[in-house]
Amino acid sequence: MKFPLMLTAALAAFAVQAQAQTTAAAATPRVAADQITTKKGPLTVQPITHGSVVFMWNGKSIYVDPYGGAEAYAGLAAPDVILITDIHGDHLDPKTLAGLSTGKTLMVVPQAVAAQLPAEYKAQVRVLANGQRLDTLGLSISAIPMYNLPEAADAMHPKGRGNGYVLSLGGKNVYLSGDTEDIAEMRALKNIDVAFVCMNLPYTMDVAQAAQGVLAFKPGIIYPYHYRGQNGLSDVDSFRKTVNAANKKIDVRLRNWYPAAR
């Protein structure tokens, strides 16, 4: 009788484990990923939440501003690269970092972030200042200014502290605005294929500012992200209408960056 009892116990344990996995998956909903063609295979774009996104390309995983708990990244490949834009908790989130598998991860950050990262990550950090570039793992990472207007030393996002980024991979250029306003450096961008642009008052810019900035540099695809402000979520549908009323060629992709069960 031992074997049937052992089998029953094993099946019960499996059922409990499966239920736990199902519950965990249900607790971390994600919108479907997009795929964008590049010269070296597809670029997979996986929205996570707020300003957090994961890219998968050419066998590598790139996490941007991992935030909101490590469970939000369950089932995704461990990060080869983590980009962090700024020191605020929705960008630099040590609790989320601690829950990720980062033993072999390169962390690309501005100096202000490097100064606040836990000591355990110091050997993995590469600091980029505005205007600097790093070539690694078959892609290039350029640090772009991000800041509030008018410029002020006591602004929530002073010039030079944080980084936006442009990733160049497989012949495509991907821009991540970070926390910025409609600055000259954003308007001057060229040949951007995919862009992620913030719009949340009072921290960054409003919908109209974001639309005008995007219309200036004309990305092929634009994702509004980081659009939760003090008064709730920004009107991203209005953003899409404003952009496409002036330029129908820009593909405005609205995705749910704030799943209800978060």
Neighbours of 155 (CB within 10 A): 14
**Whole-angstrom distance, CA of residue 133 vs CA of residue 127:** 10
Which segment of 3-17, 36-50, 125-139 scores lowest on mean pLDDT?
3-17
Instruction: Supply the angle between the helices 207-217 and 236-246 in degrees, to the nearest 10.
Output: 40
Which residue has tokens 């306003």? 181
**Does the pLDDT of residue 9 top 90, yes or no?**
no
**Whole-angstrom distance, CA of residue 161 vs CA of residue 248:** 35
Mean pLDDT of the 110-131 span: 97
Task: Please report the pLDDT score of residue 8 as a whole number.
Answer: 42
Task: Please report the pLDDT score of residue 243 as a whole number.
Answer: 98
- pLDDT tens for residues 165-214? 999 999 999 999 999 999 999 999 999 999 999 999 889 999 999 999 99
Task: Please report the pLDDT score of residue 36 as a whole number.
Answer: 98
Task: Please report the pLDDT score of residue 259 as a whole number.
Answer: 82
DSSP tag of 124: G
- Nearest Cα neighbor of 70 from 102, 44, 22, 34 is 102
- What are the extents of the domains in the chain? 32-252
Task: Please report the pLDDT score of residue 28 as a whole number.
Answer: 58
**Does the pLDDT of residue 133 top 90, yes or no?**
yes
Q: Which CATH class is domain 32-252?
A: alpha beta
**Does the pLDDT of residue 52 top 90, yes or no?**
yes
- pLDDT tens for residues 110-119? 999 999 999 9
Given a contact cutoff of 8 angstroms between Cβ atoms, the answer to whether 35 and 162 are in contact is no
C-alpha distance from residue 76 to each of 28, 80, 256 (Å): 12, 12, 18
Task: Please report the pLDDT score of residue 151 as a whole number.
Answer: 81
pLDDT band at 260 (very low <50, low <70, confident <90, very high): low
- pLDDT tens for residues 205-233? 999 999 999 999 999 999 999 999 998 99
pLDDT band at 3 (very low <50, low <70, confident <90, very high): very low
| pTM of the full structure | 0.88
**Does the pLDDT of residue 1 top 80, yes or no?**
no
